[in-house]
Structure 1
Amino acid sequence: MTAAAARLATDWQAPRAAVPVDGPVGLAVSGGPDSLAMLLLFHEVAPRNFAVATVDHGLRAESADEAAMVAKVCAERRIAHRTLAIAMTKGSAVQERARASRYHALAEWAAAEGLAAIVTAHHADDQAETMVMRLNRGAGLRGLSAMRQIAQVPGAPHLPLLRPLLRWSRRDLLAVVEASGLVPALDPSNTDPRYERVRVRDAMTSNPAFIASGFAASADHLAEADAALDWAVQTLWPQVPAGAAQIVLSPPVDIPPALALRLLERVLAHFGALPPRGPALVRWHESLRAGHVATLGGVKGDARGKAWRFTPAPKRNDVSGSDIGTGR
């Protein structure tokens, strides 16, 4: 086993142990240097415990050849491979639409093949870029935690999404591919300055003041702090049966706002409300803290007594979305 494969074997232990179902996992491999390196490393570490899928979005003429290249690499190593073709159209928000379509196709593939999780090749440089983009938007703790090693596939909440390479650099993965003698696919969108991520990447790689590994380490620390908030919420959460029509909370008078907001998110989730935008949740909290009655997402909070009581709001003919309604 190579040194790089031994390193992956160590990094793979924690995410794999988090998957509650035994069985093979599915690797998302585009043919680019990052995902191709992941394929090669997994072939050394777990040669019979994974399958590979390549999503062809149909947006570039070269994409079919790139998928065929990955299929050939897999065939030579007796690895199961599928090309998942998506009929996408060019237009606005193409990267966001492509991402959603890609995860949907991967989730369907995983269900059809009985795969326990989807694995992607996101790495430390990706993590740093994501964190900088979210800093630019003024993200809070949860957003700055960026990508997690263990998450869920978007749109498929019961399918784990694993990222074992978040401590690897782009250069580390390129070295794995170069040592194999393979030539990876190069997607021109990865150098197109019209995309925010490309602009951030160019700024970070052209200025030695930015250290990607430092950003990635900070994201890990912030993720730990985010998990600590969730743990604290769990300790404050009352014993509420599923489907209960009322929740009564008695938060401490000096509860930090960040913790109070997490509690209110939990309230909304209990009643099946959609996650609100941050400013709306802050306004709801301010109204309750002031001892008012306030409604958000179809949930009425009454803070006129010592405790905060939450019930489904009466149905109204004029649905006004997530606007805050208050009263004394």
Structure 2
Amino acid sequence: MSIPMSPPGVWRNGSSPAGRRPIASDLTAEDAIARFGSGLERAAGAPVPRLGLAVSGGPDSLALLLLAQQAMPGRIAAATVDHRLRPEAAAEATFVAGICASRSIPHRILTPDQLLTGNVQSAAREMRYRLLKDWADAQGLPFIATAHHADDQLETLLMRLARGSGLSGLAGIRRRNGPVLRPLLAFEKMELVAICRAAGLTPVNDPSNSDHAFDRVRMRHLLADHAAAFAPRAAQRTADAMQQAEAALQWVMHREAALAIAPDDAGGLLLHAAPYPREIQRRLLAEAMARLGDPPRGDRLNSALDRLRGGQRCSLGDHLGVPTDGAWHIKPAPPRAQR
């Protein structure tokens, strides 16, 4: 059995779909399509009228393409980003274009208008999302789906745990980030590979996925050696719980900010944080600094918070934090002396 090719609802050999026959040991086409639809609507918070797909040609994104075609026939379009960083990338983009053409799925190859410099991995990610958003806007597509899955989520949670991340970091990959949706977070990697195999597709292989210079690749190999100890879908349940806790704390912070944060007469803010637990204080301090356009992050924010809680002044970027009269006064720092 294969995932439907074209037209929707007809298998590759022209017969009617037999959705209860297994693709993998515990996955049928019917189940996979239903799980995709559920994941998509949960990510968007409502039914999705049309959907753009980010398709690189790897097994994850090809499975995304196949599932979306069956779940949303005639309502999808795909795009492939060629960063021009590898000589094989152009051929991989053309490969995806051919698959889409054979299934009557609109497709575009997107290329940056300038070479990437600096931290290439970070710059490529930022460029990829900018190109995809511009393309989706031009096509009238309200959402873009990427192929992040449960194994990606597990890797992300463990990497952030190893770095000492707080609650926000341990919330992992969000189901939605603006117009970007991740409908495959309930799928494991092996299931997406099986979907491609059932469709008779041989995905491309990005060599960077085997480059141990990247933290994620090292974590992936570590997990492969201890596969029985970790369950990717359980990691997604943990991420969901963390995201709900994060949302609850942010709701409390925003409600209390109306009472706790007030402007002074000199372009600064007064933060009345004493009654609150430390985590709410931290979030209120971050909110106050964001309002001043000078938000500290991570360790800098925690260090400043500890000093303020201890009754000490602290530096907050271009501002000073000064405990005064039961509050924390956040005010512009004086100009630095010229040498």
Q: What's the TM-score, normalizing by structure 2?
A: 0.81
Match of 1:233 in 2: 253
Mapped contact 2:57–2:93 kept (Cα < 8 A): yes
2:230 to 210, 221, 236: 210
Within 5 Å, give how 1:214-293 maps onto structure 2. Answer: 214-238=234-258, 245-253=267-275, 255-273=276-294, 275-293=295-313
**Secondary structure in 1 matching 2:94:** helix
Report how far residue 17 of structure 1 moved: 2.8
1:10 to 38, 63, 81: 38
**1:229 to 1:18, Cα distance in 2 relative to 1, 3 A:** farther
Name stretches of at least 5 consecutive residues in structure 1 with no aligned partner: 153-159, 320-328
**1:73 to 1:243, Cα distance in 2 relative to 1, 3 A:** farther
- Corresponding letter in the other structure for 1:200: M
Distance 2:291 2:135 in 1: 31
- Corresponding letter in the other structure for 1:210: F
Distance 1:46 1:123 in 2: 20
**Secondary structure in 1 matching 2:85:** coil
**Secondary structure in 2 matching 1:189:** helix
Which of 182-191 and 121-130 deviates more? 182-191
1:43 matched to 2:63? The reply is no
Name stretches of at least 5 consecutive residues in structure 2 with no aligned partner: 1-8, 10-29
Match of 2:17 in 1: none
**1:194 to 1:287, Cα distance in 2 relative to 1, 3 A:** closer
Q: Return the index of the structure with the highest Cα Rg.
A: 2
2:183 to 132, 148, 164: 164
Aligned length: 307
Within 5 Å, give how 1:298-313 maps onto structure 2. Answer: 298-311=318-331, 313=332
**Secondary structure in 2 matching 1:26:** strand
Which of 45-54 and 123-132 deviates more? 45-54
**1:298 to 1:91, Cα distance in 2 relative to 1, 3 A:** closer
1:56 to 71, 74, 82: 82
- Corresponding letter in the other structure for 1:310: I
Match of 1:30 in 2: 56
**1:39 to 1:249, Cα distance in 2 relative to 1, 3 A:** same
Match of 1:133 in 2: 159
Report how far residue 62 of structure 1 moved: 2.1
- Corresponding letter in the other structure for 2:190: R
Q: Percent identity?
A: 40
Which of 106-115 and 70-79 deviates more? 106-115
**1:70 to 1:264, Cα distance in 2 relative to 1, 3 A:** same
**1:137 to 1:9, Cα distance in 2 relative to 1, 3 A:** same
**1:250 to 1:277, Cα distance in 2 relative to 1, 3 A:** closer
Mapped contact 1:24–1:50 kept (Cα < 8 A): yes
Match of 1:110 in 2: 136
Distance 1:258 1:169 in 2: 34
Report how far residue 89 of structure 1 moved: 6.4
Match of 2:205 in 1: 186
Match of 1:119 in 2: 145
Mapped contact 2:56–2:92 kept (Cα < 8 A): yes
1:78 matched to 2:98? The reply is no
Runs of 4+ with deviation above 4 angstroms: 87-93, 239-246
**1:234 to 1:92, Cα distance in 2 relative to 1, 3 A:** closer
Mapped contact 2:51–2:75 kept (Cα < 8 A): yes
After superposition, the C-alpha distances for 1:192-230 in whole angstroms (9 at most, x for unaligned) are: 223221111111012122332333322222222211211
1:97 matched to 2:123? The reply is yes
After superposition, the C-alpha distances for 1:140-195 in whole angstroms (9 at most, x for unaligned) are: 1111111100113xxxxxxx221111111001211221121122111122122232
Mapped contact 1:57–1:87 kept (Cα < 8 A): no
Mapped contact 1:243–1:271 kept (Cα < 8 A): no
- Corresponding letter in the other structure for 2:67: L
**1:88 to 1:131, Cα distance in 2 relative to 1, 3 A:** farther
Distance 1:243 1:53 in 2: 50
Distance 1:264 1:101 in 2: 31
Distance 2:166 2:49 in 1: 36
